[in-house]
Amino acid sequence: MSTASFSPIKTIAKRELSGYFSSPVAFVFIVIFLLLAGFFTFMVAGFFERGEANLSAFFVWHPWLYLFLVPAVGMRMWSEERRLGTIELLLTMPVTPWQAIVGKFLASWAVVALALALTLPIVITVNYLGNPDNGVIFAGYLGSLLMAGAYLAISAMTSAMTRNQVVSFILAVVLSLFLILAGYPPVTNMLVQWANPLVVDGIAAFSVMTHFESIQKGVIDSRDVIYFLSVIVFALFTTGVILRAHRAG
């Protein structure tokens, strides 16, 4: 990617980040994420009672925390532009649609990355209490960030579909929930009773749970990374198709 093509992406990302932090959106997301992550890790999962020097109790809740929190961040990505009528202005600027899409996506992803970075005291705590495998912890953070990116890309797609942020939020939650349940053990155990195991495995392969759990265990398999990147690219590509249809209309 040339510097000239990246410059508009950087400009739009800065504009979006400024928008997130000039409103309560980013602060509310970060505070709620930190509070819920701490509550589920220390109170529900019994972090100290487990007596294990790892962060499995922390990462296991991320698919469910992101299910509602990430669409709340992404729902305004394009819905707000459509509601205010500024999407036409943005798309007539000397910026290609894909540059606008990537810029907005990276800004929202940066907000989630910041929230994740602010959980580092938990890493310091577990290192103080024991001798964890920090490579596994790093893999968990990488998997969490990739999963959040997949949720955000889906949110971008649903946000481009409607000017109503609530509708965008609900659609993103439903689609993300499908990606969770496709590989959620209780669901797969139920499916295997009446479907061929190969079919069940094929369905589970489309689930974020299957790929996130693998990375969370410290195994950074290229297939899992490619899965998340494929979801991101596909959802952002679909976002571009929707925006082009909107501009043509």
Q: What is the mean pLDDT of residues 83-89?
A: 67
Q: Are 178 and 203 in contact (CB under 8 A)?
A: no
What pLDDT shows up at residue 200? Answer: 78
Q: Are 76 and 159 in contact (CB under 8 A)?
A: yes
Residue 143 binned pLDDT confidence (cut-offs 50, 70, 90): very high
pTM value surpassing 0.75: yes
* Annotated domain spans of the chain: 3-248
Work out the burial of residue 234: count CB atoms within 10 Å of its CB; fewer than 13 is exposed, 13-18 middle, 19 or more buried: middle
What pLDDT shows up at residue 104? Answer: 92
